[in-house]
């Protein structure tokens, strides 16, 4: 066998093994992670004006449902998430955490197949969960990669980006959170850099709640996650975690290699409500990262 093909085949086999090893964690992740977290947090007590929230961000406080709260700065910031709650232990002692710095240097050549996105328009269901603005998706929108189909559950945003490419953060990052029939999560990350105004994002920002609030249905507004995909479908793939507590591992990450554009005003509108919402990059350790441009 050609050595290049052989190494790629091994890479994919190793990824599959990693996936199997994490199957249990993944189920936990899908329960405690994106879905449940979003649901409970969205029912949490509104945390007041954005300005007030920013000032109190460093303070230790309890959320409305009695759980410990976490923040992006101060004493309950990312370095302390693992000790904020026993349920968040993976944030501190996990070894396959997200986000990471994506570079060709530590990556195996790309061998994974194209992602087939089949996203449908959905009525706008929008939540400010106290950490980000999230759009919940109705069923029937999927992405399929290497025969595995994931249903789109929701998408949300971070500023600046969480993943870095060659050490450089983008101005924002969008996360499209999916789950497959086995309960594994698959997240598509789309980096966003300052440039032209993003009209699809504008539709959402128009309805962005400035305070934490339960889901609001804007049934006259339709959004489509497809509008946020870059033209070039190349992506980085690796096994990681949720980037927010409980930081559950076993998450399949697909980070699109090309960014899309947003205006400076749009970034500022989001950052003005939430402040900085990026977890710092985590250790890659001995993980495999499949990269679109690597040649070895």
Residue 82 or 189 having the CB closest to Zn ion: 189
Min. distance of Cβ 269 from Zn ion in angstroms?
A: 18
Residue 251 or 291 having the CB closest to Zn ion: 251
Q: Which residue, 279, 284, 243, 247, is CA-closest to 91?
A: 247
Residue 11 or 244 having the CB closest to Zn ion: 244
> Contact between 131 and Zn ion (CB under 5 A)?
no
Min. distance of Cβ 157 from Zn ion in angstroms?
A: 8
Residue 125 or 131 having the CB closest to Zn ion: 131
Phi first, then psi, for residue 203 (nearest 5°) are: -60, -40
Subset of residues 150 to 179 that bind Zn ion, contact rule: CB under 5 A: 175
Min. distance of Cβ 156 from Zn ion in angstroms?
A: 5
Q: Where are the beta strands (DSSP E) in the chain?
A: 101-102, 107-109, 116-118, 122-128, 133-136, 142-145, 148-158, 164-165, 168-169, 172-180, 185-194, 213-223, 235-241, 249-256, 260-262, 289-291
- The contact pattern for Zn ion, residues 97-126, with x = CB under 5 A and - = no contact, is ------------------------------
> CA-to-CA distance for 94 and 148, rounded, in angstroms?
26
Residue 271 CA: distances (Å) to CA of 54, 111, 157, 184, 275? 11, 36, 10, 30, 5
Count of residues binding Zn ion (CB under 5 A)? 1
Packing angle between helix 34-42 and helix 23-32, nearest 10 degrees? 10
Min. distance of Cβ 219 from Zn ion in angstroms?
A: 26
Residue 11 or 141 having the CB closest to Zn ion: 141
Alpha helices (H) along 22-75:
23-32, 34-42, 50-56
Burial label for 156, CB within 10 Å (0-12, 13-18, 19+), is buried
Min. distance of Cβ 37 from Zn ion in angstroms?
A: 11
Min. distance of Cβ 243 from Zn ion in angstroms?
A: 5
Using CB positions, name the residue nearest to Zn ion: 175
Residue 175 or 287 having the CB closest to Zn ion: 175
- List interacting residues with Zn ion (CB under 5 A): 175
């Amino acid at each position: 066998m050609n050595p290049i093909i052989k190494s790629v085949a091994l890479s994919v086999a190793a990824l599959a093994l990693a996936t199997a090893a994490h199957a249990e964690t993944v189920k936990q992740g899908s329960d405690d992670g994106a879905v449940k977290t979003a649901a409970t947090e969205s029912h949490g007590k509104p945390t007041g004006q954005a300005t007030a929230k920013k000032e109190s961000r460093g303070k230790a406080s309890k959320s409305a449902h009695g759980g410990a709260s976490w923040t992006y700065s101060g004493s309950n910031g990312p370095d302390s998430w693992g000790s904020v709650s026993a349920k968040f232990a993976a944030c501190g002692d996990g070894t396959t955490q997200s986000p990471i710095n994506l570079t060709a240097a530590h990556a195996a050549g790309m061998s994974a197949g194209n992602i087939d996105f089949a996203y449908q328009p959905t009525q706008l269901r929008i939540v400010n969960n106290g950490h980000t603005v999230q759009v919940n998706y109705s069923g029937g929108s999927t992405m399929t990669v290497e025969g595995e189909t994931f249903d789109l559950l929701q998408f949300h945003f971070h500023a600046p980006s969480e993943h870095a490419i060659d050490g450089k953060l983008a101005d924002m990052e969008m996360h499209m959170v999916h789950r497959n029939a086995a309960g594994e999560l698959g997240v598509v990350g789309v980096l966003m850099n300052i440039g032209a105004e993003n009209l699809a994002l504008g539709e959402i920002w128009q309805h962005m709640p400035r305070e934490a609030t339960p889901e609001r249905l804007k049934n006259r507004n339709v959004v489509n996650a497809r509008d946020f995909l870059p033209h070039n479908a190349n992506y980085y793939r690796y096994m990681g975690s949720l980037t927010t507590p409980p930081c559950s591992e076993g998450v399949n990450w697909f980070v699109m290699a090309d960014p899309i554009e947003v205006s400076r005003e749009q970034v500022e509108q989001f950052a003005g409500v939430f402040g900085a919402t990026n977890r710092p990059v985590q250790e890659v350790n001995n993980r495999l990262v499949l990269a679109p441009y690597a040649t070895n």
